[in-house]
Amino acid sequence: MKKIGILGGVGWASTLDYYRGICAGSWTIQTVAGATSHDGPLPSPRITIESVNQAQTRALRGQPGDEASWADFDAVFREAMLVLQGAGCDFALIASNTPHARLHAIRLGVEMPILSIFDATAEATAQTQARSALVIGTRVTMQARNYADVLAQHGVAANARLPDTEIDEAQAMIDEDFHGGASASARARLLRFCHKHAAHGSAVILACTELPLAFPEHIDDVSFEIDGVLFINPSAAHVAAALAHAMR
């Protein structure tokens, strides 16, 4: 199996789920494939985690449309990727949606592949037959067009961008209710937001890696339905893509 690098820390709770999902998923795949007669523990992919400081990266966020203002933000993630590359990782993941808006810059000078959460999520959304999707995430994610552009390549239209007041509400919800875990009240708040903004028949993309923590019973499901809402879990889709790449 290929060695996987995980760039984590943004935030730490979702980083734990990436590590657990990759290890548990590799065992499940091998068991389904008939490896139950294996003598001893089943093999898991080798993994190196490089964790960045979320307080630092939040402070370094730039302004939409101002490429130069993101230079310091990009540098933190690029340097972390180079650490993973130096550790012998064959490819890497960023265990967070927000930095993927800067993936084009973070990749500069990094030779190992970095698997995109956008691609994995768009493919998973298209497989549900949904024709449109509401993307919920941090302010950076919801203001950018990255998800919309990649979804369009898979025949899925993104809902129109929400007003800034509603984007601020999504960011506040993540900051107040989801960093470090999720409570029952966080789950209820997220569902209210979805019912308010998701068009009928749309999928809802939980495009912040903390948001799926509201549904622990579905933490490893790429897609699932709760309270009449079809959800896409980008973290689970990203983990599945990593496993496929590592075990190919």
Ranges of residues in the chain with a pLDDT under 70 are 33-40, 180-181
Residues shown for the chain: 248
Euclidean distance between CA atoms 70 and 101, whole angstroms: 11
Give the per-residue pLDDT at 35: 59
Q: Strand runs (DSSP E) across the chain, as ranges? A: 4-8, 47-51, 91-94, 132-137, 157-158, 203-207, 223-226, 229-232
Do 101 and 133 share a domain, yes or no?
no
Say whether both 228 and 121 belong to one domain. yes
Kindly state whether residues 109 and 66 are assigned to the same domain: yes
Domain count, the chain: 2
pLDDT digits (tens, 9 = 90+) for 30-41: 777 665 555 667
Structure confidence at residue 129 (pLDDT)? 94
pLDDT of residue 65: 86
- Domain hosting residue 142, numbered range: 117-235
pLDDT computed for residue 159 by the predictor: 82
The pTM is what?
A: 0.89
- Supply the CATH number for residue 225's domain: 3.40.50.1860
The 10 Å CB-count burial string (b at 16+, else e) for 33-57 is eeeeeeeeeeebbebbbbebebeeb
Clarify whether residues 13 and 29 are in a common domain: yes
